[in-house]
Amino acid sequence: MPKVALAATVLWYPDKNTDDCHAGIVTKVGDRSISILVCLPELQFAAREGVRHRNDPDVEVADRLADGVWDYSASSEDSQYILELAKAVNAIKARLDKLESR
């Protein structure tokens, strides 16, 4: 499963073969799926659990239809980039600290 952070905004699709999507917030991250609070039209919210990524090759179509599928939104891609960048900066800082302590 692609990496996604808790509280990230994602796009939720009722099934993988549609472009009709809704905004969602990740409420739980599992090994192979996530839980999402989906904002439906007219400001209704729906909880979806066990949602797999839209391109997950290991899930049958019938499984995908039960709780829909998710994909990154532009803001979640930015958040993922910032998270990876922060990890890289922390790794470099740790190496510098190690060098300075010699």
Eight-state DSSP code of residue 43: G
pLDDT value of residue 63 = 57
Residue entry with tokens 């300075």: 100
Token duo for residue 29: 């991250």
pLDDT value of residue 65 = 61
- Helices marked H in 1-102 — which ranges? 61-67, 74-100
pLDDT value of residue 79 = 65
Domain ranges across the chain: 9-100
pLDDT value of residue 12 = 94
Give me the phi and psi of 63, to 5 degrees please.
-65, -40
How far is the CA of 49 from the CAs of 61, 77, 89, 91, in angstroms? 16, 21, 34, 34
Contact 79, 19 (CB under 8 A): no
pLDDT value of residue 43 = 80
Cα 13 to the center of its chain, rounded Å = 13
User: Tens place of pLDDT for every residue, the chain, 102 residues?
Assistant: 788 889 988 999 988 778 889 999 999 999 989 999 999 888 889 999 999 998 888 766 655 567 889 998 876 566 666 677 778 888 898 999 888 888
pTM more than 0.75: no
